[in-house]
Structure 1
Amino acid sequence: MAAGGSAGEQGRRARAQALELARRSREAYALASRYEAAAEAERQVAASLMGLTAVGWKLLVDRRWPGTRSANVDMLLIGPAGVFVIDVKRWRNAPAVKDGHLLAGTEPRDGEIAKLLAMTRTAEEKVASLGMSPVALRPLMVFAGHRLDTTLGHVRLLGHPDAVHALLAEPKRLTPQMVRAVTGVLEDAFPVYETADLGERPVEPAPAAEAGTLFDTEEVEKAALASALHAPIENWMTFLHPDQVAVTRRDWSGPARVSGPAGTGKTVVGLHRAAHLAARGHGRVLYVTFANNLPRVQAQLFRRMAGAFADRVEFTSLHAWANTFLTQRGITPRLNGDRADDAFYRAWIQIGRDSPLTDIDPSPVYWRDEIHHVIKGRGLTSLEEYRTIARPGRRTALQAAHREAAWLLYEEYEMLRAGRGVSDFNDVLTAALEEVRQRPADPPYASVIVDEVQDLTLVGVKLLHALAGDEPNGLLLIGDGQQAVYPGGFRLAEAGIGIKGRATVLRTNYRNADEILAAAMDLVSDDPFDDLDGPSPNGRRTVETVYNDGRVVRAQAPTGTEHDKQLVEAVRNVPDLAGAAVLCPSRRDLEACARLFRNAGVPVLSLEHYDGRPVEAVKLGTYRRAKGLEFKYVFLPRHDAALPVAEPGNAAAGERAELARRQLFVGMTRARDLLWLGSVVTQR
Structure 2
Amino acid sequence: MIERTFPSLDSLQRNVLTALLSRTDAGWRILAKTALPAEDSRSADAFLIGYTGVFALLITDDGPDNETANQILRHAKERFAGIPGPQGRSLAESAIHLAVIGRGAGSARRDGVHWSLTESSLDRIFRRDALHLDKRLVAIIAEQAERRLRGYRSLALQQPDRSPGTEGLLDVTELIEDQLGAAQQRPFDSWLTFLHPQQNAIVKRDYSGPARISGPAGTGKTVVALHRLRHLARLNTGPLLFTTYVHSLPSVIKTAFDRLAPELNGRVEFTNLHAWVRRFLAERDVPVRVDRSKIDTAFSFAWMATREKLQVIEPTFDYWRTEVDRVIKGRGITTLGDYVAVPRRGRLLRLDANQKALVWDLYSRYQRELAEREVHDYNDLIELGRAELAERPLQTPYAGVVVDEVQDIPLCGLRLLKDLAGDGPNRLLLVGDGQQQVYPGGWRLSDAGIPVQGRGEILRVNYRNRAGVLGFARRFDATNRVDDLDGADGVALRAAESASEGGATETWRGTSGELSDALVEAVRKLPVRRDHSALIVFHHKDLRRCADILRQAGIPTLALEHYAGAADGKLKIGTVQRAKGLDFEAVLVLENAHESVTGGQAEEERRELRGRQHLVAATRARDFLWWGVLDDSTPKQAEKPTEAEGDCIHDMPISWCSLCRRPPPGVLSHGYRTSGGNAYHNDPDCTWLRKGQGRAHRQGKNVHDVTRLAWGSVTPGELEPCEFCCSPEWMKRHGH
Structure 1 length normalisation: TM-score? 0.81
Aligned to 1:620: 573
Aligned to 2:76: 120
Alignment match of 1:258 (pick from 195, 213, 219): 213
- Structure-to-structure mapping, 1:1-20, within 5 angstroms: none
- Structure-to-structure mapping, 1:131-530, within 5 angstroms: 131-142=90-101, 150-158=109-117, 161=119, 165=123, 167-169=125-127, 171-192=130-151, 197-198=154-155, 200-201=157-158, 234-351=189-306, 353-355=307-309, 357-524=310-477, 527=479, 529-530=481-482
Aligned to 1:60: 31
State the one-letter code of the partner of 1:343.
Answer: A
- Structure-to-structure mapping, 1:514-553, within 5 angstroms: 514-524=467-477, 527=479, 529-534=481-486, 541-553=494-506
Offset from partner CA, 1:239-286 (integer Å, 9 cap, x none): 333322322232222211111111112222222222333344521111
Residue 47 of structure 2 corresponds to residue 76 of structure 1: yes
Aligned to 2:639: none
How far the C-alpha of 1:344 sits from its partner, in A, is: 1.6
State the one-letter code of the partner of 1:262.
Answer: A
State the one-letter code of the partner of 1:479.
Answer: G
Aligned to 1:673: 623
Check whether the contact 1:120–1:139 (CA below 8 A) recurs between aligned residues: no
Aligned to 2:5: 31
User: Structure 1 pair 633/508, CA: closer, same or farther in 2 (3 Å)?
Assistant: same
Runs of at least 5 residues in structure 2 that lack an aligned partner in the other structure: 161-185, 637-736
What secondary structure is seen at the aligned counterpart in 2 of 1:354? helix
Aligned to 1:95: 62
User: Structure 1 pair 383/533, CA: closer, same or farther in 2 (3 Å)?
Assistant: farther
How far the C-alpha of 1:495 sits from its partner, in A, is: 1.1
Aligned to 2:703: none
How far the C-alpha of 1:660 sits from its partner, in A, is: 1.6
State the one-letter code of the partner of 2:610.
Answer: A
Check whether the contact 1:528–1:538 (CA below 8 A) recurs between aligned residues: no
Offset from partner CA, 1:594-653 (integer Å, 9 cap, x none): 11111122212111221111122221111111111112222222x1415443x44x1111
What secondary structure is seen at the aligned counterpart in 2 of 1:634? strand
User: Structure 1 pair 530/46, CA: closer, same or farther in 2 (3 Å)?
Assistant: closer
What secondary structure is seen at the aligned counterpart in 2 of 1:523? coil
Deviates more, 1:471-480 or 1:331-340: 331-340
Alignment match of 2:614 (pick from 664, 672, 677): 664
Name the CA distance, whole Å, in 2 between partners of 1:44 and 1:528. 58
Check whether the contact 1:387–1:403 (CA below 8 A) recurs between aligned residues: yes
Check whether the contact 1:294–1:628 (CA below 8 A) recurs between aligned residues: yes
What secondary structure is seen at the aligned counterpart in 2 of 1:522? coil
Check whether the contact 2:588–2:626 (CA below 8 A) recurs between aligned residues: yes
State the one-letter code of the partner of 1:388.
Answer: A
User: Structure 1 pair 124/376, CA: closer, same or farther in 2 (3 Å)?
Assistant: farther
How far the C-alpha of 1:151 sits from its partner, in A, is: 4.3
Name the CA distance, whole Å, in 2 between partners of 1:430 and 1:368. 19
Alignment match of 1:562 (pick from 514, 524, 534): 514
How far the C-alpha of 1:117 sits from its partner, in A, is: 3.1
How far the C-alpha of 1:139 sits from its partner, in A, is: 2.2
How far the C-alpha of 1:539 sits from its partner, in A, is: 5.8
State the one-letter code of the partner of 1:568.
Answer: V
Name the CA distance, whole Å, in 2 between partners of 1:52 and 1:590. 47
What secondary structure is seen at the aligned counterpart in 1 of 2:562? coil
How far the C-alpha of 1:476 sits from its partner, in A, is: 0.7
Check whether the contact 2:456–2:485 (CA below 8 A) recurs between aligned residues: no
Offset from partner CA, 1:178-233 (integer Å, 9 cap, x none): 2111112212222347xx65455579xxxxxxxxxxxxxxxxxxxxxxxxxxx998
Check whether the contact 2:533–2:571 (CA below 8 A) recurs between aligned residues: yes
Name the CA distance, whole Å, in 2 between partners of 1:517 and 1:546. 10
User: Structure 1 pair 201/550, CA: closer, same or farther in 2 (3 Å)?
Assistant: closer
Aligned to 1:574: 526
Name the CA distance, whole Å, in 2 between partners of 1:537 and 1:81. 35
Check whether the contact 1:644–1:656 (CA below 8 A) recurs between aligned residues: no
Name the CA distance, whole Å, in 1 between partners of 2:490 and 2:116. 55
What secondary structure is seen at the aligned counterpart in 1 of 2:91? coil
What secondary structure is seen at the aligned counterpart in 2 of 1:395? coil
Structure 2 length normalisation: TM-score? 0.75
What secondary structure is seen at the aligned counterpart in 2 of 1:311? coil
What secondary structure is seen at the aligned counterpart in 1 of 2:473? helix
How far the C-alpha of 1:149 sits from its partner, in A, is: 6.0
What secondary structure is seen at the aligned counterpart in 2 of 1:445? coil
User: Structure 1 pair 334/149, CA: closer, same or farther in 2 (3 Å)?
Assistant: closer
Offset from partner CA, 1:102-151 (integer Å, 9 cap, x none): 5xxxxxx6653343233233245344775334454122345689999644
State the one-letter code of the partner of 2:427.
Answer: G
What secondary structure is seen at the aligned counterpart in 1 of 2:349? coil
Name the CA distance, whole Å, in 2 between partners of 1:147 and 1:304. 20
State the one-letter code of the partner of 2:624.
Answer: L
Aligned to 1:12: none
How far the C-alpha of 1:165 sits from its partner, in A, is: 4.5
How far the C-alpha of 1:674 sits from its partner, in A, is: 1.9
Check whether the contact 1:513–1:672 (CA below 8 A) recurs between aligned residues: yes
User: Structure 1 pair 142/302, CA: closer, same or farther in 2 (3 Å)?
Assistant: closer
How far the C-alpha of 1:28 sits from its partner, in A, is: 2.8
State the one-letter code of the partner of 1:325.
Answer: F
Check whether the contact 1:287–1:314 (CA below 8 A) recurs between aligned residues: yes
What secondary structure is seen at the aligned counterpart in 1 of 2:97? strand
State the one-letter code of the partner of 1:532.
Answer: D
Offset from partner CA, 1:66-109 (integer Å, 9 cap, x none): xxx998654322223322223455xxxx636xxxxx5xxxxxx6
User: Structure 1 pair 148/319, CA: closer, same or farther in 2 (3 Å)?
Assistant: closer
Deviates more, 1:582-591 or 1:54-63: 54-63
Check whether the contact 2:465–2:623 (CA below 8 A) recurs between aligned residues: yes
User: Structure 1 pair 592/254, CA: closer, same or farther in 2 (3 Å)?
Assistant: same
User: Structure 1 pair 404/424, CA: closer, same or farther in 2 (3 Å)?
Assistant: same
Offset from partner CA, 1:542-586 (integer Å, 9 cap, x none): 1111222212211123x3212331111111111411122221111
State the one-letter code of the partner of 1:399.
Answer: D
> What RMSD in Å do the two structures reach over aligned CA positions?
3.1
Check whether the contact 1:446–1:474 (CA below 8 A) recurs between aligned residues: yes
Check whether the contact 2:92–2:194 (CA below 8 A) recurs between aligned residues: yes
Offset from partner CA, 1:457-491 (integer Å, 9 cap, x none): 11000101111012222111011111111111211
How far the C-alpha of 1:314 sits from its partner, in A, is: 1.0
Aligned to 1:211: none
State the one-letter code of the partner of 2:81.
Answer: E
Q: By percentage of residues, which structure has more helix? A: 1
Residue 566 of structure 2 corresponds to residue 594 of structure 1: no
User: Structure 1 pair 397/599, CA: closer, same or farther in 2 (3 Å)?
Assistant: same
Alignment match of 2:582 (pick from 624, 629, 632): 629
